[in-house]
Structure 1
Amino acid sequence: MDKKAENLKKLSRTNIVMNFIKKNNGKWNHTGWVEFCEYLKEKGYTPIDFDQVGLMLETKKAAYLAAK
């Protein structure tokens, strides 16, 4: 498994994505996305496929909003 895939898997095992979704009540703009990506870099989750992070975020966001 390459480092990007490892970091994506590592991220998926945390609450980081869901915490971001909850903090923003399931809504964010491009600036929020960029800040989230920077946060992941600061926390050591790079290299990572940010397209896949975006898909993970949208999937979890849909579940979060459906449960509201």
Structure 2
Amino acid sequence: MSKEENNLKKLARTNLATNFVKKCKGEWNHDEWLKFCDSIKEKGYSPIDLDQVGLLLENKKAEYCAKQTCACSN
């Protein structure tokens, strides 16, 4: 397993992505995305495939939106 894959798996086992989605209420802009990427790198999740991080966030967003009474945009 590559270091990028290992870091992604470690990240997925934390609440960082879920907490980000909750904080943003399922919606975020590019600047917020970049800040999240910087924050995970600062926490030691580097190198990491940011495309895969994006997919992880989208999966967490789908879980978050499924639990909400109002619909998130897809």
If the length of structure 1 is used for normalisation, what is the TM-score? 0.97
Q: How does 1:1-68 map to 2 (within 5 A)?
A: 1-68=1-68
Q: Secondary structure at the match of 1:7?
A: helix
Aligned to 2:72: none
How many aligned positions are there?
68
Q: Distance in 2 between matches of 1:28 and 1:63?
A: 15
Q: Name the structure, 1 or 2, with higher relative contact order (CA <8 Å, separation 6+).
A: 1
Q: CA deviation at 1:23?
A: 0.7
Overall identity of the aligned pairs, in %: 60
Gaps spanning 5+ residues in structure 1: where?
none
Provide the aligned C-alpha RMSD in A. 0.5
Asked which structure has the greater CA Rg, the reply is: 2
Q: Deviations over 1:13-39 (max 9, x none)?
A: 000000000111111000000000000
Shift of 1:66: 1.1
Q: Deviations over 1:44-65 (max 9, x none)?
A: 0010000000001001101101
